[in-house]
Structure 1
Amino acid sequence: MSAANAKAVAHFAARLTFETDVSDVAADLAAGLPGLVVVDSRSRESWDQGHVPGAVHLPTREIAARAAGLVPPATRVVTYCWGPGCNGATRAALEFARLGYQVKEMIGGFEYWAREGFAVETASGVSRRPVDALTAPVGAVACGC
């Protein structure tokens, strides 16, 4: 393997260590993966508009002060924010990492969670949106990647 290939392997392996996607998070939640906490790092208004069912609401600016009271130390944390155009989940993951948590960022964020047809929770209950054909195959369980 060339030095350039070794760098590429290290880069992509690191990304998979610290990133996950909405399909993998949905599968882990459906399987009841023990020790997993999904954290929504958005504002109260954003949370109220819709969030991943079972997620913990903890805005980034509050993580340092409140994480220990909401998320046990040995927990695997997955952070999310709005979507790919927002780095809020990255900043939230950084805060959890600084506190010593094992953490991943959910790439695609809440936008892709909703667009891929996964359940969305609001004060009025849980619902699902139709799958957006630009983000996931309509009628299929997964993209197959």
Structure 2
Amino acid sequence: MTQLDAIAFFSARLRFQTDVADVHAALESATPGLVVIDSRGDAAWSTGRVPGAVHLPTALIEARAGELIVRDARVVTYCWGPGCNGATRAAAAFARQGYDVAEMLGGIEYWTREGFPVETDHGLRRRAADPLTAPPDASCAC
């Protein structure tokens, strides 16, 4: 492996993957063209989701993406968490359709664990941040 290989690899990861903190910041600043996709099924969606996310289960992306998501959107997909590759499969489905897409690492699990609000049919709710993911007296400062 060469230095150029490493640069290409890590640059591609940064281009096609994002984290919950960056997605939260983009949503808070109302980044134009950003569409967050929850690729989980109906039962999971009803337990809570990223505020403003569009519900589009992976199996329906091919049939419904074009009618729900504008072609010039920056799509970010998520699923349950780091032990699930549903967001990866959803991102691949959007890529096959020609969308600019990234996967949100950590999924709804890390969104919740970092203390960000979750939207339900009854409004927003927020849990305290998990000190293992968002220490109260420290920041990763990355």
Q: TM-score, normalised by structure 1?
A: 0.94
**One-letter amino acid of the structure 2 residue matched with residue 84 of structure 1:** P
Moved more, 50-59 or 6-15: 6-15
Structure 1 residues 139 and 114: CA distance shift in structure 2, 3 A:
farther
Counterparts in 2 of 1:28-67, with a 5 A limit?
28-67=26-65
SS in 2 for 1:117: coil
**One-letter amino acid of the structure 1 residue matched with residue 56 of structure 2:** L
Equivalent in the alignment of 1:7: 5
- Distance (Å, rounded) in 1 between the aligned partners of 2:84 and 2:31: 27
Runs (4 or more) in structure 1 with deviation over 6 Å come to none
Residue segments in structure 2 that go unaligned for 5+ positions in a row? none
Counterparts in 2 of 1:10-29, with a 5 A limit?
10-29=8-27
Residue segments in structure 1 that go unaligned for 5+ positions in a row? none
Alignment equivalent of 2:131, drawn from 122, 130, 133: 133
Equivalent in the alignment of 2:112: 114
Moved more, 87-96 or 122-131: 122-131
User: Is 2:85 aligned against 1:95?
Assistant: no
User: Aligned-residue CA RMSD in angstroms?
Assistant: 1.1
Equivalent in the alignment of 2:71: 73
Give the superposition deviation at 1:139: 5.9
What does the per-residue CA deviation read over 1:96-141, in whole Å, with 9 as the maximum and x for residues that have no partner?
000000000000110000000001011111011100011112266x
- Distance (Å, rounded) in 1 between the aligned partners of 2:129 and 2:6: 33
Q: TM-score, normalised by structure 2?
A: 0.96
**One-letter amino acid of the structure 2 residue matched with residue 32 of structure 1:** A
Report the number of matched residues. 142
- Distance (Å, rounded) in 1 between the aligned partners of 2:137 and 2:99: 36
